[in-house]
């Protein structure tokens, strides 16, 4: 075989290799996009499951779908008893921004209470199952006192502080009446924020929402009667409604956010650590939560 033939064979081999690489990249890209390149009749699905302790993933998913012209609407599937105030408010704001530009329909699962309801309020439309537990519009601040226990085992605590309220809520001494009023003021402020957010999102008078916002839980049927939800229906009903409101003809393609590829070991390790971190974030320190009692 002469040099020219060898060179030609080498070039053909390189070309075939490059073609295979390009094809593989295209296939992976299309697979990860879950079909969004193939159709403009797509409804995105974002899921909020479990305690609300961080808003990053949910908000990133909503922003990605908002910027994707092929996604005409989103169904936000909520199955959450609530969670920390800050992240709940951040998700609320992102849902509000999305609903101002595209259709966003909430589909409530078994429970969408407290913070779970908070993030649902600004949606274009809310679907709940007849037996969905929702509402629970209120705020909790959990405090403990272990002073008696420390005394029994012969331990005592000493605190140096820069101001008289710096150790408010300390578990090693009784709460003063002044501190009680201070914490109650914080709770009342957060409760007022919750009430105003629901009133704005549901287009209801603030006075009406206040009568509903005593922390009680409603079934889906009861929530419909007091206008906290719009329709009784399941996930597919919410998908159909979102598609119709977005002007999609025919059966819409459901698009889920791209999954982060992880090894089995990392999934096991991160899954365990996330559960521990979630519990610690909720139970430790001084923290107010939009959470249904018994939800965690």
Positions marked catalytic: 114, 166
**Cβ 296 vs Cβ 282: under 8 Å:** yes
Assigned token pair, 79: 């199955």
CA distance 158 to 174: 14
**Cβ 83 vs Cβ 296: under 8 Å:** no
Per DSSP, helices labelled H in the chain are 3-32, 56-67, 85-101, 115-118, 147-152, 177-202, 206-212, 220-225, 235-245, 264-283
CA distance 136 to 143: 20
Match 């909020």 to its residue by tokens: 48
- The DSSP result for 122-177, as a single string, is TSSEEEE-TT-EEE----EE-----HHHHHHTT-------SSTTTTTT-TTSPPPH
CA distance 168 to 286: 9
CA distance 283 to 277: 10
Q: What length does the chain have?
A: 296
């Amino acid at each position: 075989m002469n040099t020219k033939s060898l060179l030609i064979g080498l070039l053909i081999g390189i070309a075939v290799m490059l073609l295979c690489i390009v094809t593989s990249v295209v296939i992976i890209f299309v697979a990860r996009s879950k079909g969004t390149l193939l159709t403009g009749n797509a409804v995105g699905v974002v899921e909020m499951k479990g305690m609300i302790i961080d808003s990053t993933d949910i908000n990133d998913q909503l922003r990605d779908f908002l910027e994707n012209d092929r996604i005409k609407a989103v169904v936000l599937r909520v199955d959450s008893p609530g969670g920390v105030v800050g992240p709940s408010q951040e998700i609320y704001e992102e849902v509000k921004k999305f609903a101002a530009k595209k259709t966003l329909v909430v589909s409530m699962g078994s429970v969408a209470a407290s913070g779970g309801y908070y993030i649902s309020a600004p949606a274009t439309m809310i679907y709940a199952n007849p037996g969905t537990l929702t509402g629970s519009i209120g705020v909790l601040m959990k405090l403990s006192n272990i002073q008696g226990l420390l005394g029994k085992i012969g331990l005592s605590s000493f605190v140096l502080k820069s101001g008289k309220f710096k150790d408010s809520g300390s578990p090693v001494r009784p709460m003063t009446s002044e501190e009680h009023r201070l914490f109650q003021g914080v709770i009342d402020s957060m409760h007022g924020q919750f009430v105003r957010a629901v009133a704005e999102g549901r287009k209801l008078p603030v006075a009406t929402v206040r009568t509903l916002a005593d922390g009680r839980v409603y079934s889906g049927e009861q929530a419909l009667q007091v206008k906290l939800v719009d329709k009784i229906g399941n996930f597919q009903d919410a998908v159909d409604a979102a598609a119709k409101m977005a002007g999609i003809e025919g059966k819409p393609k459901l698009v889920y956010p791209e999954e982060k590829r992880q090894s089995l070991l990392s999934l096991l390790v991160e899954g365990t650590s996330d559960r521990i971190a979630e519990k610690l974030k909720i139970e430790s320190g001084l923290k107010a939560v939009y959470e249904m009692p018994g939800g965690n």
